[in-house]
Amino acid sequence: MRKRIVSACLLLSLLTCCISGCGVVDTAKGMVNKKMEQMVVGESEKVASISTEQYAYQQLMEEEKIVYDQVLHCILQHSEKVAVMTKDKDLLQKVYDCVMADYGGLFWIDGYQFNTYTSMDQVIGIEFMPRYTMTKEQADEYQAQIDAVVEEWMAGIGPNDSDFAKSKYVFETLVNQVEYNKNSENNQNILSVFLGKSTVCQGYADATQYLLQQLGIQSAVVRGKANGEAHAWNLVRLDGEYYFTDTTWGNSRYLMPDSSIQKFVNYDYLNATTAFMQETHELDVCFDVPECTATACHYQQ
């Protein structure tokens, strides 16, 4: 993180010599900081939201939603930076985590940096700077390859199928098409899934969210621990009810890595309840997650 300190002390001293009283000084100080913000950081502009149906976005306060929209727009446009409408770095981190939970397909970004601008020991602005792993042209090329694979894999399901059928199809397709491999390349994003066909839990969860979104199903990537290890899985809304799905654990070879045993789909972790998942999984996310009690879409073998 780089930090630039903008000094307006001389200007404030001149103002203070002409006025007295703490309230008046504070007002003058605020005016100076506002002017410095406009000069140095620039105007923070709102952008139209495309995320009103996304789960994590819906859990945010209004200010957080504005910053979320700015961050997402910056990433999608492959922009170098954007002045965000917050002066709180913790809020920025929360918003970024929510964007990544809602959009599993952002394979060309790996974290972010930010510039904090201060004046008289007060933060007057923050710039968000995505950390890209490739150029926009490279990302577009990869996206075209992903689209071709997705079209092939999703040929057996359509928009008129039931929510349960869609969730089951995505779950089975990913388990059958993709191996679990800790050493797989790009295993923290969907490139490992659709192009490498070998991934870890983050890749499975991102791909699950990505494919369900293509089918009109709301889903978010959630993180925490499973059996004491860092893990990622999904929150899914089906027919208006919420469930947990862990595609990684749906791959029998994850829990039973012996390659001599034929791989099969473990449906226990398709559309499960909170009570069931809490036996092995522990959530650690920055947004509210509902208690999942519905069982209608849990697969019964």
DSSP code per residue over 173-209:
HHHHH-EE-TT-TTTTSTHHHHTTSEE-HHHHHHHHH
Rounded CA gap, 163 and 216, in Å?
9
Nearest to 176 by CA among 195, 197, 150: 197
- What the block records as the tokens of 40 is 């140095």
How many Å separate Cα 179 from the centre of its chain? 23
Higher pLDDT, 2 or 172: 172
How do 198-199 and 281-283 pair as beta strands?
unpaired
Q: Which residues pair with 231 in a beta bridge?
A: 224
Kindly state the percentage of the chain with pLDDT values over 90. 78
With cut-offs at 50, 70 and 90, classify the pLDDT of residue 241. very high
**Residue 222 confidence (pLDDT) above 70:** yes
Give pLDDT tens digits for 74-122.
999 999 999 999 999 999 999 999 999 999 999 999 999 999 998 888 8
**Residue 1 confidence (pLDDT) above 70:** no
**Residue 44 confidence (pLDDT) above 90:** no
Rounded CA gap, 294 and 292, in Å?
6
Nearest to 220 by CA among 203, 202, 204, 208: 208
Half-sphere exposure of 44 (CA within 13 A, CB side): 20
Angle at CA of residue 260, ends 259 and 263, nearest 5°: 65
3-state helix, strand and coil shares in percent for the chain, rounded to the nearest 5: 45, 20, 35
Question: For residue 125, what are the contacts with CB-CB under 8 A and spacing of at least 6?
Answer: 37, 40, 41, 42, 44, 83, 87, 116, 117
Higher pLDDT, 270 or 31: 270
Which parts of the chain are beta strand (E)?
2-5, 82-84, 109-119, 122-132, 179-180, 198-199, 219-226, 229-238, 241-245, 281-283
Rounded CA gap, 269 and 273, in Å?
9
- What the block records as the tokens of 283 is 């959530």
Kindly list the structural domains of the chain, giving each domain's residue range(s) and its CATH number in brackets, ordered by start.
2-132 (no CATH), 136-283 (3.10.620.30)
Higher pLDDT, 97 or 254: 97
Q: Round the CA-based radius of gyration of the chain to a whole number and report it.
A: 23
How many Å separate Cα 64 from the centre of its chain? 14
The pTM of this model reads 0.86
Please give the span between the terminal C-alpha atoms of the chain, in angstroms, as a whole number.
51
Half-sphere exposure of 108 (CA within 13 A, CB side): 19
